[in-house]
Amino acid sequence: MNVLILGSGGREHTLSWMIARSKKVNKVFIAPGNAGTAIEGQNVNLDINNFESVAEFALANDIAMVVVGPEAPLVAGIHDFFLGNEKYRQIPVVGPVKEGAMLEGSKDFAKEFMDKYGIPTAAYRSFNRDTYDSACEFLRGMKRPYVLKADGLAAGKGVLILDDYDEAVQELDKMLSGKFGDAGKIVVIEEFLKGIELSVFILTDGNNYKLFPEAKDYKKVGEKDTGLNTGGMGAVSPVPFADKKFLKRVEDRIIKPTVTGLKNEGIEYKGFLYFGLMKVDDDPFVVEYNVRMGDPEAEVVIPRIKSDLMDLLIGVAGGNLDEKKLEITNDTVTTVMLVSGGYPGDYEKGKEIFNIEDASGSIIFQAGTRNVGDRIVTSGGRVLAISSYGHDMNEALKKSYANAEIIEFEGKYFRRDIGFDL
């Protein structure tokens, strides 16, 4: 069968790497892809937010499944678009319908959903311009620091954590006045959770689910978790502090009620679901849902899957995921992200990347890269994810770091302390 993967980052290179290795797969197309996905299959120059052009391509190229990498097309309803048209309906889409994607697309929706189904999360209230005065009053009654979240998608920038009441009130005003556009028309104010973060993932067909390995991602650009937030500077899986007992709590208190809740709401959720968690003492709380795999978490989670991922995805489409097998390696996988100097602020693109072919013992997943003739050049902030297996974290990190030194491009930067706190 032919598969079309939508997206262009390290996550999509990882998905295409794994899917292209399936015996069930004839050809993989990636839209728009990057220089790494071009090794696994054929890149297609499509605007993935133009659903008609995606669907027409799928029809013309005998695509048997569309796998959606990023959240934007899901929140905008790509799956509903396929279902709503006789011509495209028979092509299964992995990724939730619009209503399911609201778990990521609207923080207010996600919080209300969690409240309704008794899923542990920070206490909260939502406000808009009309309720600004009660929002200030609510903030005054809260302990510091104050957590303000724009309701909608804000490219990972919509969460503010502030120590000062006056600053929090000012920022709230700015958010409600359009600092994040329409995404901030509603603001969720919630209790600050003190603990350690990790992510857990499932793949679900709407009824059954498979628990994927957990991962920890390093969001801050600077060592010791300092500086600005990024998309992620590295990741490890498994996470040593997520022991069996803790993961059972995650499953019982969070995953099962979420899958049941979606079903109760009549939302047919088919795809990946990402639980961003805070471990507070020994108890898990949901910080956020994402309706896709994480990036760079995908670059450590997917390589740990020993089973045929394509077969699992076929189970998602067919509603018989319970009949499929998911085997996970006990090995650790780590990834270290090489980024463009200046990221997540301004940075230059178009820098030639050298020595990828000299990197051995790691899998080099490409993110912000593109081919120019026979050269590979940088085309984004996050450039390459260097993923490595090891019997333990140190062995894996050693390989990732050795290759992080070997690969070169002007302005290369990476954190040297991935896994430092574990």
Q: Give the gyration radius of the chain's Cα atoms.
A: 21
Peptide bond into 296 cis (omega under 30): yes
Q: Report, in Å, the least distance between residue 71 CB and ligand GLY.
A: 9
Tell me if 295 contacts ligand GLY by CB under 6 A.
Answer: yes
Nearer to ligand AMP, 180 or 347 (CB): 180
Among 41, 232, 271, 344, binds ligand GLY (CB under 6 A): 232
Q: Report, in Å, the least distance between residue 32 CB and ligand AMP.
A: 25
Q: For strands 375-378 and 283-290, give the pairing.
A: unpaired
Cα-to-chain-centroid distance, residue 395: 25
Nearer to ligand GLY, 299 or 308 (CB): 299
Binding to ligand AMP (CB under 6 A): which residues in 322-361?
none
DSSP symbols for 76-100: TTHHHHHHT-TTTTTS-EES--HHH
Q: Report, in Å, the least distance between residue 219 CB and ligand AMP.
A: 6
Nearer to ligand GLY, 71 or 171 (CB): 71
Tell me if 205 contacts ligand GLY by CB under 6 A.
Answer: no
Binding to ligand AMP (CB under 6 A): which residues in 271-290?
276, 287-288
Contacts of 16 (CB under 8 A, 6+ apart): 5, 28, 30, 33, 37, 40, 41
Q: Report, in Å, the least distance between residue 114 CB and ligand AMP.
A: 12
Q: Report, in Å, the least distance between residue 188 CB and ligand AMP.
A: 9
The owner of tokens 């912000």 is 368
Nearer to ligand AMP, 104 or 205 (CB): 104
Tell me how far CA of residue 377 lies from CA of 114, 274, 335, in angstroms. 43, 31, 20
The answer to whether 149 touches 158, Cβ cutoff 8 Å, is yes
Q: Report, in Å, the least distance between residue 296 CB and ligand GLY.
A: 6
Using the contact rule CB under 6 A, the part of the chain among 189-197, 259-267, 300-308, 371-379 near ligand AMP is 189-197
Cα(4)–Cα(88) distance, integer angstroms: 14
The answer to whether 212 touches 201, Cβ cutoff 8 Å, is yes
Using the contact rule CB under 6 A, the part of the chain among 98-106, 191-199, 315-323, 335-343 near ligand AMP is 191-199
Nearer to ligand AMP, 111 or 370 (CB): 111
Q: Report, in Å, the least distance between residue 191 CB and ligand GLY.
A: 21
Q: Looking at 195-342, which runs of residues are DSSP E strands?
A: 196-204, 209-211, 216-217, 220-222, 226-229, 234-237, 271-280, 283-290, 332-339
Neighbour tally for 394: CB within 10 Å: 11
Among 57, 117, 165, 192, binds ligand AMP (CB under 6 A): 192
Partner interacting with residue 232 (select from ligand GLY, ligand AMP, none; CB below 5-8 Å by kind): ligand GLY
Binding to ligand GLY (CB under 6 A): which residues in 211-230?
217
Contacts of 183 (CB under 8 A, 6+ apart): 150, 151, 152, 153, 154, 158
Cα(243)–Cα(258) distance, integer angstroms: 21
Neighbour tally for 327: CB within 10 Å: 9
Q: Report, in Å, the least distance between residue 164 CB and ligand AMP.
A: 16
Query: Which tokens sit at 149?
Result: 């979240």
Nearer to ligand GLY, 99 or 217 (CB): 217
Tell me if 233 contacts ligand AMP by CB under 6 A.
Answer: no
Among 74, 175, 176, 193, binds ligand AMP (CB under 6 A): 193
Among 69, 70, 238, 294, binds ligand GLY (CB under 6 A): 294
Peptide bond into 344 cis (omega under 30): yes
Partner interacting with residue 197 (select from ligand GLY, ligand AMP, none; CB below 5-8 Å by kind): ligand AMP
Query: Which tokens sit at 159?
Result: 């969460």
Q: Which residues bind ligand GLY (CB under 6 A)?
A: 217, 231-232, 290, 294-295, 297
**Binding region for ligand AMP (CB under 6 A):** 122, 147, 149, 159, 190, 192-193, 197, 276, 287-288
